[in-house]
A and B are shown apart, each in its own frame.
Chain A
Amino acid sequence: MTTEHLLVARGLAKRFGGLVAVDGVDFAVPERRIVGIIGPNGAGKTTLLNLLSGALRADEGTILLDGADITRRNAAQRAALGLRRTFQNIRLFGGMTVLENVVVGMHAQTRGWIAGGILGGPRVARAEQDAFDTALAVLDALGLGTRVDHLAGSLSYGEQRRVEIARALASSPRILLLDEPAAGLNSAEKRAAAELIRTLPERYGLSVVLVEHDMDLVTHTCSTVSVIEYGRPLCAGRPAEVFSDQRVIDAYLGTAVAR
């Protein structure tokens, strides 16, 4: 874990009452790589993402982004620093248009508060214009160009997943945490999602942490995969190695959910 790593977590732990959801996880994400996290249901993957994104405070451990300690930063501050995420259960702003959803994601790129919002002014106006243009471009790139003026809540499930990714992408994040982005997609959509995710690092110059159950998708996209079970790291390595590891097979068979 040297400075080449964009995101480094050491000894992360989170307890819910007596339940230890995440138990001493070390984790590092290199620049422009896709790192997978897999594990059976309830293993603590989402909790780990919540700790990384700041949605939850870690009981123990430290998190470094680009060498800077962000353990005490909240979710909004981490987002502004370029650490962005999507949610396992889609959380769009259903009553707002697709375009507005993405522009909300660009909060750090837009300007103005109460006075700025009322009066406008060149600085505010230019930032708004740039944000809307960027948002449109990203939506175009994700094949949502015809949906920009639709209400987000009216889109199909697969489209909503893409809007969530667009919302995070438009702010030019340094690192993107994806929580089961292919869950609930049909096989064609899954292939498309895999292709999208695989190309993210080079197209947008970012790293991806991918939580996913779908082995094909993980094999297709990730350079390395970490397996966690009962909140603890089980093993890590290249996807092919990991999926043939007996411990991993046992872990998945043990809970009988090799989806």
Chain B
Amino acid sequence: MTTLAPSPPVETEPARRASSPDAASRRTAAKQVGVLVAVCLLVILAAPSDYSVRIATLVLVYAALAMGLNVVVGLAGLLDLGFIAFFGVGAYTYALLASDLHDIHLNFWVLLPVGMLVAAMLGVLVGLPALRTHGDYLAIVTLGFGEIVFILLVNLDRPVNITNGPQGVLGIDLPSIGGWEVGKEGVFLGAFGLTPTMQFFVLATLYVAAVMYCALRLRDARLGRAWRAMRESEAATSSCGVSIVRAKMSAFVFGASVAGGAGVLTAAWYGSVFPDSFLFSESIKVLAMVVLGGIGSVWGALAGALMLVLMPELLREFDQYRLLIFGLVLVLVMRLRPQGLFGSRSPGIRAPGTLGNRIRRRLRRPTDRGGRS
């Protein structure tokens, strides 16, 4: 090893950044979003049927959700088991404020940020008590929160009818842009020969593109660095001057608002919402997408969504064996690529690969209780 004291003139200059880190991150994010949009364009051009466009839109909605949850779980390392509740809150925000139910008809572009804001505020409310404590407490609190939201959606039809209970809300307004309604034959993008389904696909593409850009930018920014650091050691991260509670709260709230926006979009697309769409199993489904795609990877979130939406569709013909095959494929993927489709294996822990070792390593999570160091 070389001496380290007096700074020796380094001959081999380390890779100096050609451009500023911020500009580089902006370029990377823009490029990747460009790829996504290009792929979406291809999908719409090549889609054989309206049905396939609908499936593709569903993939995009789930991709937005998975990208949002990926920030919470993958980057910040917070286990959120009630994530779908924020989606539901966004969906109902639009459903209640843009339908005949209460005879309120606010504009989609107003309600999109409103839905995100409502979800974010709920995120703060849930996060404040939960994030101040350590570890798995958050998982339990979010699980409970998800159930509470579901129960409220079902039961808030009496004594005053707010959510219309288990019947859900029907006849939700189509989004309109400058008087043209998205998703109506012949108008707006219909002028380009786009069917109503395709128009929603375009809307979903725009939303996912925005979410992806934000997620990629944040990942490499100051906040994202703090998230990724925190996931590895809270003690070390706070010793760097990062407020752990603030960093966790930001991740949680960011994820919540992404889900809220996706909810608004979906309510407008479906034209109806039902409480049953926001069950615990949906939270797990989105979590599975994140894990399957590779925890922490933005493209992984998309891949996970693609897989978990497409596979059940493709397996339709196998009928009663559908779930069995589905489960087997999931197990196989996780067995062969435990880091997920797009995940990178954690460095430093170079694994002598016995299964026992791997399981043990997984169970042994670093405990950072500030005490002994």
Contacts and interface: CB of A to CB of B under 8 A. Distances in A.
- Interaction A to B: yes
Interface of A: 16, 46, 49-50, 53, 55-56, 74-77, 79-80, 84-85, 87-89, 91-96, 100-101, 103-108, 110-114, 116-118, 120, 124-126, 128-129, 132, 136, 139-143, 145-146, 148-149, 151-154, 158, 162, 167-168, 171, 179, 188-189, 192-193, 195-196, 198-199
Nearest to A80: B241
Nearest to A200: B5
A184 to B, nearest CB: 13
Nearest to A170: B240
A95 B232 contact: yes
Contact of A50 (B222, B240, B373): B373
Nearest to B2: A143
B239 A148 contact: no
A199 B233 CA distance: 29
B373 A107 contact: no
B4 interface: yes
Main secondary structure of the interface of B (DSSP, over half): loop
Given A55-B370, A118-B213, A93 B229 contact: yes
Contact of B10 (A85, A100, A140, A192): A140
The dominant DSSP class at the A interface is helix
A195 B3 contact: yes
A55 B372 CA distance: 9
A56 B239 CA distance: 12
A124 B22 contact: yes
B240 A95 contact: no
A198 B21 contact: no
A146 B12 CA distance: 8
Contacts of A108: 241
B347 A93 contact: no
B20 A76 contact: no
Interface in B9-48: 10, 12-17, 20-23, 25-26
Given A117-B224, A120-B26, 7 more contacts: A16-B371, A79-B240, A94-B349, A111-B222, A114-B223, A117-B218, A139-B14
Interface in B326-373: 346-349, 370-373
Contact of B240 (A56, A107, A143, A196): A107
A102 to B, nearest CB: 10
Contact of A129 (B20, B236, B346): B20
Contacts of B107: none
Contacts of A158: 1
Contact of A104 (B12, B225, B244, B349): B225
B64 interface: no
B250 interface: yes
B235 interface: yes
A140 B17 contact: no
